[in-house]
Amino acid sequence: MNRGGEYEKHFGAVPSVIAVAPGRVNLIGEHIDYLDGWVLPVAIDRHLVIEASATEDGFFEFVPVRAGFGEKVRIGPDEVFPRAEKRERWLNYLLGVIAGYRGEGIEVPGFRAVIHGDLPAGAGLSASAALETATALVIETLTGATRSVCERALLCQKAEHDYAGVPCGIMDQLAVGAGRAGCALLLDCRDLSTRSVPLPEDLVIVVADTGVKHALGDGEYRLRREQCEAALAFLGAASFRDLDPALVEAARGRMDDTLYRRARHAVTEQQRVHAFVGALTSGDLETMGRCLREGHASLRHDFEVSCAELDGLVEAGYAFGAENGHVGTRMTGGGFGGSTVSLVRREAAESFRAHLEESFASQFDRRPATFITEAVEGAKALLL
Ligand code: GLA
């Protein structure tokens, strides 16, 4: 991937810092990071890059180059506030992080930033968390402030809450920051501890982007969180994390059906994370595949965050067949569009990818963007 050079092309000078942040897929543990759950994301080999230098006049200048965000913009030091206009909303990821460091007493200098990379935006692969994290690393490098991966993730999550208006959990920001090459990350979203779980070397990750743009800010994501809280209150439980699924079943007849299904997703998804990690550790591909399949069905029917294009890709994935090297497929991330993640044997990856594209095209009359990827290290910055 092209990590540098865009700044020089644009400004005719070398930048003083380059920050590189990967995207992520989530293998399992969907919509339970904001419920204190355990989740299992992977930082992937698609990155967002910011090349930057401090300005002398205190202004911020942001130049996105084929990054899937908006247009170049210049912002005064006193103009760091949330943007509501659609075409300006992408700025919230940068401005929210600047505001976060200022709020901690750091004097953030104005800086010029060229934003580029090969991580697609709006594909459910955490381009927003990558943009926040890269911005945070630029600020830390320019100011000498240092934060732990967890502190940085929390600051970026706050930017997403306060500026972008999305009440997200902590998974994306932690995955982008804490990625480990060759490993999935078992994140405990209650205490923010992380355990690396090695992925089998003969498996690769195949991502397929439906092209259906999700907008988590549009209210459905927030609604799911509220429904989960209402379900917990009804059940008189503090958390779904250790809740016995039998208690949810026992309440079925008394509970609003939507709340019951949200609760059933939360408790069964938590169980699937543990079952999946056990199977991953023992190399039980069949159980891994079953967890991914059941996880998708639960997101589709109980949590209702899937869509026809995601369901089509998942069905196409399983139709390829375990005997041909397919392990499992599910939607990944917040849903309502975005991408699917598949685990596939390395030697079958290219034909699997072609199969997904063809099946999708025969159903929806256009080809999805697909790519093969692996687990990589988390975000880093380099002072030049
Ligand atoms: C989005 C959010 C995450 C998480 C996922 C669903 O990606 O940013 O915090 O809730 O959706 O698992």
Give the model's confidence band at 242: pLDDT under 50 very low, under 70 low, under 90 confident, else very high.
confident
Q: Is the dihedral of CA 41, 31, 214, 48 positive or negative?
A: negative
In the block, tokens 């199969």 appear at: 355
* Residue 33 CB less than 6 A away from ligand 1: yes
| pLDDT > 90: percent of the chain | 94
Q: Where in the chain do CATH 3.30.230.10 domains reside? A: 6-197+377-383
What would the two tokens of residue 342 be?
A: 């598949």
pLDDT per position as a tens digit, 196-217: 999 999 999 999 999 998 766 5
Q: Which fold has domain 6-197+377-383?
A: Ribosomal Protein S5; domain 2 (3.30.230)
Shortest-distance atom of ligand 1 to CA 26:
12
The answer, yes or no, to whether any atom of ligand 1 lies below 6 A from the CB of 333, is yes
- The finding on whether 338 has its CB within 6 A of some atom of ligand 1 is no
Query: Three-state SS string across 320-345, please?
Result: HCHHHCEEEEEEECCCCCCEEEEEEE
pTM for the model stands at 0.97
3-state secondary structure of 146: coil
Q: Which of 33, 45, 172, 209 is catalytic?
A: 172
* Residue found by looking up tokens 């699937």 in the block: 272
Residue 172 is among the residues annotated as catalytic for this protein: yes
Query: Token pair 């079925």 is at which residue?
Result: 252
CATH 3.30.70.890 domain range(s) in the chain: 199-373
Between 70 and 139, whose confidence is greater?
139
Q: Can you name the CATH fold of 199-373?
A: Alpha-Beta Plaits (3.30.70)
Closest by CA to 266, choosing from 288, 311, 289, 235, is 235
